[in-house]
């Protein structure tokens, strides 16, 4: 490497470090303030306290929201993972023409602003005079999550050797058996990974929830409502807890998806 290139690489490294700081620092501010012993989040910080976390654990409203969020995220995860995995397998087995048509079509919800997904559903439920509830929230979240599952599972399917399936079929396995005994075990890392993605996506979603929910609130819509009245320290504690939960799930998903390298060609 020439001296000029060395300087270039150094400049790029410094820039990258700054960008990573830019991405992470605002999140650290939330974590720091969640332990700040002051009613108003302002610098410089005062002493350390855990009282905002206790306040969260004592709030029936927030705990109910946490329960609702978990319920919705779990249902979304089951639905989206099932639909998405089946669709990904179906796409992989269909011809180039079908794929060229269906793949973009099945990814359109990902390319649509969440706000539009939410209000379009609200408008339709209103036309049909349907009662809004956590069920309608699950419907909306599943629409948002399915394309991500298809994307992740499809990536894994590309790496699979089609001869494994052929061999199973040649040995007399029916299509259902090939799916259950051969394909799903091979796809397991990607399926579990995408399930965690669907869960976090739903757990964090605020706009779609806001427009499709009835009287129930999830954790994000509760935070959203609280922010309308100003920043309170409890929001920092709740945000920190949700961040820790989703990041833990995310790292789990990463490990799952990456651990799938064994059967690659």
Cβ nearer to another protein, comparing 50 with 244: 244
2 sits in the region (left: phi over 0; alpha: psi -120 to 50; else beta) called beta
Residues in the chain: 265
The span from the CA of 36 to the CA of 100, in Å, is: 53
The span from the CA of 3 to the CA of 100, in Å, is: 47
Q: How far is the CB of 51 from another protein (least distance, A)?
A: 18
Cβ nearer to another protein, comparing 4 with 60: 4
CA 45 to chain centre: 32
Cβ nearer to another protein, comparing 87 with 186: 87
For 168, other C-beta atoms within 10 Å of its C-beta total 18
Q: How far is the CB of 139 from another protein (least distance, A)?
A: 5
Q: How far is the CB of 169 from another protein (least distance, A)?
A: 6
Q: How far is the CB of 149 from another protein (least distance, A)?
A: 9
Cβ nearer to another protein, comparing 26 with 47: 26
Cβ nearer to another protein, comparing 47 with 176: 176
Q: Where are the alpha helices (DSSP H) in 213-265?
A: 219-228, 233-258
DSSP H or E stretch at residue 142? helix 134-158
Cβ nearer to another protein, comparing 159 with 162: 162
Q: How far is the CB of 147 from another protein (least distance, A)?
A: 9
Q: How far is the CB of 57 from another protein (least distance, A)?
A: 19
The span from the CA of 265 to the CA of 257, in Å, is: 16
With beta carbons less than 8 A apart as the criterion, state whether 183 and 89 touch: yes
CA 153 to chain centre: 15
How many Cα atoms occupy the beta-carbon half-sphere of 46 within 13 Å?
10
């Amino acid at each position: 490497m020439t001296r000029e290139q060395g300087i270039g690489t150094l400049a790029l490294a410094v820039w990258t470090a700054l960008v990573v700081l830019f991405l992470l620092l605002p999140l650290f501010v939330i974590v720091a303030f969640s332990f700040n012993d002051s009613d108003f989040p302002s610098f410089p910080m005062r002493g350390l306290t855990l009282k905002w976390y206790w306040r969260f654990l004592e709030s029936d409203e927030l705990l109910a929201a946490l329960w609702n969020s978990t319920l919705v995220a779990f249902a979304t995860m089951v639905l989206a993972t099932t639909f998405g995995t089946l669709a990904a397998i179906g796409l992989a087995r269909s011809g180039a023409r079908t794929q060229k048509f269906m793949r973009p079509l099945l990814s359109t919800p990902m390319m649509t602003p969440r706000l539009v997904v939410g209000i379009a559903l609200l408008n339709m439920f209103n036309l049909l005079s349907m009662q809004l509830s956590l069920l309608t929230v699950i419907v909306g979240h599943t629409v948002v999550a399915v394309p991500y599952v298809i994307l992740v599972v499809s990536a894994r399917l590309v790496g699979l050797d089609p001869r494994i399936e052929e061999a199973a079929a040649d040995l007399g396995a029916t299509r259902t058996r090939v799916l259950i005994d051969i394909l799903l075990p091979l796809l397991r890392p990607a399926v579990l990974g995408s399930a965690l993605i669907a869960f976090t996506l739903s757990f964090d979603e605020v706009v779609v929830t806001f427009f499709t929910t009835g009287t129930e609130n999830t954790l994000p819509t509760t935070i959203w409502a609280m922010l309308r009245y100003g920043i309170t320290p409890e929001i920092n504690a709740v945000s920190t807890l949700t961040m820790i939960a989703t990041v833990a799930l995310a790292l789990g998903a990463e490990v799952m998806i990456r651990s799938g390298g064994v059967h690659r060609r």
